[in-house]
Amino acid sequence: MRIIQVEERDKRGYMDLLLLADEQENMIEKYLYRGEMFALYDDDLRAIAVVTDEGGGDFEIKNIATVPAYQRMGYGKALIEHIVRQHRESGRTLYVGTGDSPLTLGFYGRCGFVHSHTVKNFFVDNYDRPIVEDGKQLVDMIYLKREL
Ligand SMILES: CC(C)(COP(=O)(O)OP(=O)(O)OC[C@H]1O[C@@H](n2cnc3c(N)ncnc32)[C@H](O)[C@@H]1OP(=O)(O)O)[C@@H](O)C(=O)NCCC(=O)NCCS
């Protein structure tokens, strides 16, 4: 298994996988170029993540996705552990914002994140169409955090 940091010019090549975690391309473009992108390979591509520096020691995972055929095999968690190791010296807290969906909240809980705060109506205010996950429309953004 190897994790690489993706060069600026190669980032768009991962768009299909980025869209799995965030279905609106113009929302992805808001953070793609100011963030660092990591790609995990195990033979072929397994998972990607984008992390931004929010200042004051705060970092945020803006996007994380594992190729569907390789989900639940530990790749998402391995990427998060890599991000934590990479930012431990300069960072204080790693945040992630997600919809109120048991699918993603379960994953982040297993990766050591706890509840931080909620941004009311984030998904209805920022996306053109309703975002539905697991049959439920997402409304508020739930922020979780893990100390670095
Ligand atoms: C969320 C996602 C990135 C998880 O990646 P993954 O590679 O499948 O996760 P892992 O195999 O590393 O799982 C790590 C832990 O979380 C648990 N987990 C993973 N998915 C879970 C789920 N849907 N519900 C509950 N727990 C889950 C695993 O069982 C594992 O637990 P363990 O450490 O006790 O064994 C992946 O499901 C995905 O790409 N989903 C679509 C995109 C998406 O929704 N991204 C998040 C946007 S906020």
Q: Which domains does the chain have, with CATH numbers?
A: 2-147 (3.40.630.30)
Judge whether residue 134 has pLDDT over 90: no
Give distance in angstroms: CA of 76 to centre of ligand 1: 6
CB 144 within 8 A of CB 113: yes
98 lines ligand 1 (CB under 6 A): yes
pTM: 0.95
Judge whether residue 13 has pLDDT over 90: yes
123 lines ligand 1 (CB under 6 A): no
- What confidence tens digit (pLDDT) does each residue in 63-110 have? 999 999 999 999 999 999 999 999 999 999 999 999 988 889 999 999
CB 146 within 8 A of CB 116: no
32 lines ligand 1 (CB under 6 A): no
Judge whether residue 33 has pLDDT over 90: yes
CB 44 within 8 A of CB 13: no
3-class state of residue 118 by DSSP: strand
- Of all protein residues, the one whose alpha carbon is nearest to atom 7 of ligand 1 is 76
pLDDT score recorded for residue 103: 84
Average pLDDT over every residue of 51-59: 97
Residues whose CB is less than 8 angstroms from the CB of residue 137 and which lie 6 or more positions away in sequence, other chains included:
123, 130, 131
- Of all protein residues, the one whose alpha carbon is nearest to atom 27 of ligand 1 is 107
112 lines ligand 1 (CB under 6 A): no
Nearest CA among 132, 127, 133, 130 for reference residue 107: 133
pLDDT classification of 41: cutoffs 50, 70, 90: very high
- H helices within 22-74, ranges in order? 25-32
Judge whether residue 53 has pLDDT over 90: yes
Q: For strands 136-137 and 36-42, give the pairing.
A: unpaired
Judge whether residue 30 has pLDDT over 90: yes
76 lines ligand 1 (CB under 6 A): yes
72 lines ligand 1 (CB under 6 A): yes
